[in-house]
Amino acid sequence: MKIVWLGCLILALTSTQVNAQQSADTANTNKAKEVVRDLERIVAPSGIQESYKTSIGGIDQWLNVRGQDQANPIVLFVHGGPASPLTPAIWQFQRPLEEYFTMVNWDQRGAGKTYGEADPKDIGDSIHIARYVDDAIEVAEYIKKRYHKKKIILMAHSWGTVVAMSAALKRPDLFYAYVGIGQVISTRENERISFEYALEQAKAHDNAAALKELESIAPYPGDQPITRERIIIARKWPQYYGGLSAFRNTSTYYFDAPLLSPEYDEADVRAIDEGSLFTLGKILPEFVGVDFSNIHTFPIPVVMFMGRHDYTTPTAPTAAWLSKLHAPYRQGVWFEHSAHMIPWEEPGKTLVSLLKYVRPLAEKAN
């Protein structure tokens, strides 16, 4: 009895100490969030700062709208993932962009704050690329009308490029231009190049653990299905060797960004992982079949931001595709110090490139 009692007492004391530490950590985190919130406030009289939900595709979906001057062109930024919302990370890189553009970030179906707006059981059957494309078009139509714009600029990152490029092809009348960051052209080709890079790096660094895991799924993707288990291994090692963030084997700055986001509370942060688990298994069979390589003409101007070290969505297929594309305007921009996370890795060049290559397209059209 004494042993049991002492054991329970130790557990109780440990729990009390942990809870006290967690309370202190929460208080410190909240203070940090308030600093970010104050810095992020749009105070210019001509500016706009809104976060709200509206009905898109039959469910409520969240939009975040920020900019210093409402007269600026609007950029609809379609996030990656699937189900990796940008909204909780925009405080890290977006503020300078807001001086020249009104930035609209949209938490997609099953992602971020939108995840909590519908019972997953009710929308499970709607998790298809075509539905996301129609959602993106509906969002574009909504913000165009709400903010009294003739057209908007469409920009996307990673998975979002699958949705946004399809939306631009389907409804080019809505957009001044399309900007792809970490563009997906062919999922299977991307996976092959990414895997070969990882294998090359693992051999060069004599990494036995990496080689063992990579060889367990070789040849990859080969003629086998790209399952969740295979893709996790295939993505792990290219990212370890800087294929996600250049010259890094971790990206804590991105994955922990929501903890300091003024836009996300604890429930919203939890929803990111929940939405990702919910979405990925449903969309993966369609995602692995994505192939834009047979698209040879594009109805609107195209600008591609390409990270020289990107082995998450390798840039070689994008560069090759762009070089042969027929479009009203086409421009590739290489980011020599970036991998997949261009807006975070080279935020200055991101802004300069948007001002040099993209904003004039909207100004000229007006």
- Rounded distance between C-alpha atoms, residue 313 and residue 299, angstroms: 24
**Res. 2: pLDDT tops 90:** no
The gap from C-alpha 96 to its chain's centroid, in whole angstroms, comes to 18
Q: What is the pLDDT of residue 276?
A: 92
Q: What is the pLDDT of residue 18?
A: 35
In a domain, 42, yes or no: no
* Cβ(51)–Cβ(63) below 8 Å: yes
In this structure, the answer to whether residues 158 and 176 fall within a common structural domain is: yes
In this structure, the answer to whether residues 232 and 276 fall within a common structural domain is: no
- Rounded distance between C-alpha atoms, residue 202 and residue 200, angstroms: 6
In this structure, the answer to whether residues 197 and 67 fall within a common structural domain is: no
In a domain, 2, yes or no: no
In a domain, 34, yes or no: no
* Cβ(73)–Cβ(64) below 8 Å: no
DSSP, collapsed to helix, strand or coil, labels residue 257 as helix
> Which residue is it, tokens 């329970």?
8
In this structure, the answer to whether residues 158 and 281 fall within a common structural domain is: yes
Percent of the residues in the chain that have a pLDDT greater than 70, as a whole number: 93
In a domain, 20, yes or no: no
In this structure, the answer to whether residues 103 and 202 fall within a common structural domain is: no
* Cβ(36)–Cβ(25) below 8 Å: no
- Rounded distance between C-alpha atoms, residue 33 and residue 49, angstroms: 17
In this structure, the answer to whether residues 145 and 278 fall within a common structural domain is: yes
In this structure, the answer to whether residues 59 and 112 fall within a common structural domain is: yes
In this structure, the answer to whether residues 193 and 276 fall within a common structural domain is: no
| Other C-beta atoms lying within 10 Å of the C-beta of residue 222 | 14
Over residues 319-338, the mean pLDDT reads: 98
| Other C-beta atoms lying within 10 Å of the C-beta of residue 299 | 15
In this structure, the answer to whether residues 261 and 292 fall within a common structural domain is: yes
Q: What is the pLDDT of residues 89-118, one digit of tens each?
A: 999 999 999 999 999 999 999 999 999 999
In this structure, the answer to whether residues 144 and 279 fall within a common structural domain is: yes
* Cβ(47)–Cβ(69) below 8 Å: yes
Q: Which of 203, 220, 243 is the last residue of a domain?
A: 243
Percent helix / strand / coil, the chain, rounded to 5 = 55, 15, 30
Q: Which of 216, 243, 270 is the last residue of a domain?
A: 243
Residue 119, φ and ψ in degrees, nearest 5 = -65, 125
Q: What is the pLDDT of residue 13?
A: 31
Burial of 43 (0-12, 13-18, 19+ CB in 10 A): exposed
Distance, first Cα to last Cα, the chain? 82
Taken as a whole, the chain contains a residue count of 366
Contacts of 171 (CB under 8 A, 6+ apart): 137, 140
Q: What is the pLDDT of residues 45-104, one digit of tens each?
A: 999 999 999 999 999 999 999 999 999 999 999 999 999 999 999 999 999 999 999 999
Domain total of the chain: 2
Over residues 20-44, the mean pLDDT reads: 83
> Which residue is it, tokens 């709200």?
52
Mean pLDDT over all residues of the chain? Answer: 92
Structural domain that includes position 159: 48-187+251-365
* Cβ(81)–Cβ(276) below 8 Å: yes
Residue type, 281: G
> Which residue is it, tokens 């009289």?
45
In a domain, 214, yes or no: yes
- Rounded distance between C-alpha atoms, residue 346 and residue 199, angstroms: 27
pTM over 0.85: yes
Q: What is the pLDDT of residue 243?
A: 96
- Encoded tokens for 172: 């080019």
Q: Which of 243, 269, 284 is the last residue of a domain?
A: 243
In this structure, the answer to whether residues 231 and 256 fall within a common structural domain is: no
In a domain, 10, yes or no: no
In a domain, 7, yes or no: no
Q: What is the pLDDT of residue 364?
A: 86
Residue type, 270: R
Q: Which of 28, 29, 25 is nearest to 261 (CA)?
A: 29
- Encoded tokens for 107: 């938490």
Q: What is the pLDDT of residues 7-30, one digit of tens each?
A: 333 333 333 333 444 455 778 889
In a domain, 18, yes or no: no
Q: What is the CATH number of the domain that holds 108?
A: 3.40.50.1820
Q: What is the pLDDT of residue 365?
A: 78
Buried-state track 128-143, b at ≥16 Cβ within 10 A, e below 16: ebebbbbbbbbbbebb
In this structure, the answer to whether residues 145 and 223 fall within a common structural domain is: no
- Rounded distance between C-alpha atoms, residue 114 and residue 325, angstroms: 35
Q: What is the pLDDT of residues 186-232, one digit of tens each?
A: 999 999 999 999 999 999 999 999 999 999 999 999 988 888 889 98
